[in-house]
Structure 1
């Protein structure tokens, strides 16, 4: 493994001191990184693929987070907002994604320190060193980064940066439906019948599910959230049926836990369990999907179950199988990732979902997030790779430490602390965290 220089790097040449720090993503963690940089007087630009800030959070805005307000507001962001008269919502209450945007993220994105530096409709498609591919080493750290974006008119543009903070999350990179991690055979044939995780089944997406056979694939909390909504829809709309398809023997990761201080999460698992026991949800366990196909009667998911080849017929499929980091945009960046979890190698042992829940992850900062590419950091949900143990509060401490390192403040960067709620199992979808897609 490559040895890294942990000394804070302060620009020493005009070439590195002129460009801003590029932040990829204007979600909760990206905006928190911006707030921390603003407090330190470091120039930055936020590159957001959507046409609004927190576009991914808005997509699941109907869903309630597990964490209450006291855990989902970044300290630096709070200071900037309170200086303008902002009042924090009730600390013990858990917000929905929509409330998180309307009461916190949208006001944050409008303050004068952040608003002029946010570029919407700027989808990052690649990151590299200026004039260098990943094979060139000489004087590499002295070169600024090039962040290539695709704009709303489809054209490409290169944005220079002295450092890059990738806070793009994982919501736009769902795991495939197939059990082997590859794209499902026949996916193109059934794509119009597959919906992303956390559809608004009682609101925006109601017509797609009402009176139809719905199958939710996945064993985590995003699956349980959707199942509860579908059970209510079935009560209101005759002909609606609900099937829960999981690859394991049980959906234990979506179950409640007596030691879970995130009360809403414990309740969610209990409600899903009762609905299964009452027969309102049909469970197909140990189902390993290998192919999808269209039939006269709907859509078939074909796979192996209990040693036999079986086919399940449905009308609409919800892909709640979790998420993975989009690493394609980082092919020209030198990364040091864990072989299994796809998180930074120093961070991976601290977040291993086989050992840790959300609340047992140790405080960590720039050291655990560093890569051989000096000045490049993956933070937030994406830093956890495929692990599902992320909470927003963890990401806020990450970016506080990283921005301190970028500012040359070694003492602050190295002093990391975090108080998290005691939790049982975490979400089974690596993109969920506090409620679904932090």
Structure 2
């Protein structure tokens, strides 16, 4: 391909990284280490916009598991001080002490307010074969003021995550009838009950909590705690399946004590009368009730009692719309790369049994395109930050032509996995010696039980079908 002002040689073009979250920024650091020039496009106004959305929660992962090695090397000359590797940061700590400094070290290689709206091969839609692999990628983006821009890139690393696309309330994967109209009373995030305005929405009210993963357990326990000081606070726990011996997880037998503690906290909320369960309830519609309340209707015709708020905590899904002109090979169930899907199937794997993987498993028919981080897992709930760091190390090596390094496994996970669950920001931080008894994650004290909101990009997310990992 001959170079021209409109079509420069691909070797002169940057590698596009979509998303300035933990994995996207790590990808940029690895690309630089390999002598490749990254360009990180972030839709939000700052680095790690999604992480800032749960800055009040504390992680179950220690700092040692949350700092990428290549990123640490990039930060070292800036005077950056590495946090205590044995401590557990909050989301806000992660941003302030690592992610924003890393973005700052990358400088103008990170562009904010740049929402990617489409990626294709320059001059080729997805049908055209002729000279396809030789063409650069054309990237369309939109700025907050509505202006549009077109860029060219040598390769694409999509680390945009899934935080912005939570699963809807409808049990069939579609929004329930009336869900959009009732959006003012439906939330898809665990509420921060330390925020007075948020607290007022739930205090003394009835809330439907839909889901059976870590986020749902956290919400149930948090609402039960709120009920202790705010009479009338109650949760209606909506489960698509029945309650069995495994519904609450492994309890005290769980290899990950913090995960087990979450299930015990949810069980206690029910046993103490702060929540009651609607089992086998597959929501198809949301109907208005007196006083601005809502009623959920199931596919079998049953209706819930009126509730004031609904928390839909049924997992996340990838946004694939802007990749539509690229030739991707995705598993028809998980929407993950076909070679990766069997390794992360939540029916077979938890966080400790997902084999470390890289460019080979993440490859697509469209050469030099990689989905990494949480987005690479599609709808699977077992993603870990350290796994994402290994992904981008391998991808950067592959793009640099070092296929031996790309194929090499440079990550070893403990048998129980390195979990990225989280606890509330106001919980006491676990002392380092507590790690010795609990493996990778915090040991659950007798009281209070630590809660575990589940943020994006570092943690294992809820399985919409009721399973999940850490």
Give your verdict on TM over 0.5: yes
Deviations 1:72-95 (A, max 9, x none): 211111222233333332323332
Q: Which residue in the other structure is 1:397 paired with?
A: 390
Distance 1:331 1:56 in 2: 24
Residue 459 of structure 2: which of 423, 434, 437 is its match? 434
Please, which moves more after superposition, 198-207 or 250-259?
A: 250-259
Distance 2:408 2:251 in 1: 32
SS at 1:311 equivalent: coil
Distance 1:53 1:194 in 2: 27
Deviations 1:302-323 (A, max 9, x none): 114xx65233321111121100
Deviation at 1:249, TM superposition (A): 1.6
CA RMSD of aligned residues (A): 2.5
Q: Which residue in the other structure is 2:284 paired with?
A: 290
Q: Which residue in the other structure is 1:4 paired with?
A: none
Q: Which residue in the other structure is 2:448 paired with?
A: none
Distance 1:407 1:426 in 2: 30
The answer as to 2:298 corresponding to 1:303 is: yes
Distance 1:270 1:87 in 2: 38
Name the CA shift for 1:248/1:432 in 2 (closer, same or farther; >3 Å). Answer: farther
Q: Which residue in the other structure is 2:361 paired with?
A: 368
Contact 1:369 1:377 in 2 (8 A): yes
SS at 2:94 equivalent: helix
Distance 1:335 1:311 in 2: 41
Deviations 1:137-159 (A, max 9, x none): 11111111111111010122112
Contact 2:373 2:457 in 1 (8 A): no
Q: Which residue in the other structure is 2:249 paired with?
A: 255
Deviations 1:51-102 (A, max 9, x none): 1111111111222223222222111112222333333323233322112111
Q: Which residue in the other structure is 1:175 paired with?
A: 167
Deviations 1:90-142 (A, max 9, x none): 3233322112111211111111xx12111111111111111111001111111
Q: Which residue in the other structure is 2:377 paired with?
A: 384
Q: Which residue in the other structure is 1:49 paired with?
A: 43
Contact 1:404 1:412 in 2 (8 A): yes
Contact 1:171 1:431 in 2 (8 A): yes
Instruction: Count residues in correspondence.
Output: 423
Please, which moves more after superposition, 23-32 or 220-229?
A: 220-229
Distance 1:430 1:88 in 2: 22
Contact 2:16 2:156 in 1 (8 A): yes
Deviations 1:257-297 (A, max 9, x none): 55655443333232222222222222222211010121224
Distance 2:66 2:256 in 1: 13
Contact 1:189 1:293 in 2 (8 A): no
Please, which moves more after superposition, 243-252 or 377-386?
A: 243-252
Q: Which residue in the other structure is 2:322 paired with?
A: 329
Contact 1:388 1:429 in 2 (8 A): no
Residue 72 of structure 2: which of 74, 78, 86 is its match? 78
Distance 2:108 2:122 in 1: 25
SS at 1:342 equivalent: coil
The answer as to 2:62 corresponding to 1:37 is: no
Deviation at 1:230, TM superposition (A): 1.9
Please, which moves more after superposition, 59-68 or 343-352?
A: 59-68
Q: Which residue in the other structure is 1:217 paired with?
A: 210
Deviation at 1:330, TM superposition (A): 0.9
Contact 2:334 2:378 in 1 (8 A): yes
Distance 2:334 2:122 in 1: 29
SS at 2:294 equivalent: strand
Distance 2:247 2:148 in 1: 42
Distance 2:80 2:239 in 1: 44
Please, which moves more after superposition, 245-254 or 151-160?
A: 245-254
SS at 1:64 equivalent: strand
Contact 1:259 1:423 in 2 (8 A): no
Distance 1:301 1:192 in 2: 15
**Structure 2-normalised TM-score?**
0.84
Deviations 1:352-398 (A, max 9, x none): 10000011100110000000111110000010011000000000000
Runs of 5+ consecutive residues of structure 1 not aligned to the other structure? 1-10
Distance 2:343 2:51 in 1: 26
Distance 2:27 2:267 in 1: 39
Distance 1:18 1:101 in 2: 32
Runs of 5+ consecutive residues of structure 2 not aligned to the other structure? 422-452, 463-469
Contact 1:70 1:91 in 2 (8 A): yes
The answer as to 2:113 corresponding to 1:121 is: yes
SS at 1:42 equivalent: coil
Name the CA shift for 1:313/1:257 in 2 (closer, same or farther; >3 Å). Answer: same
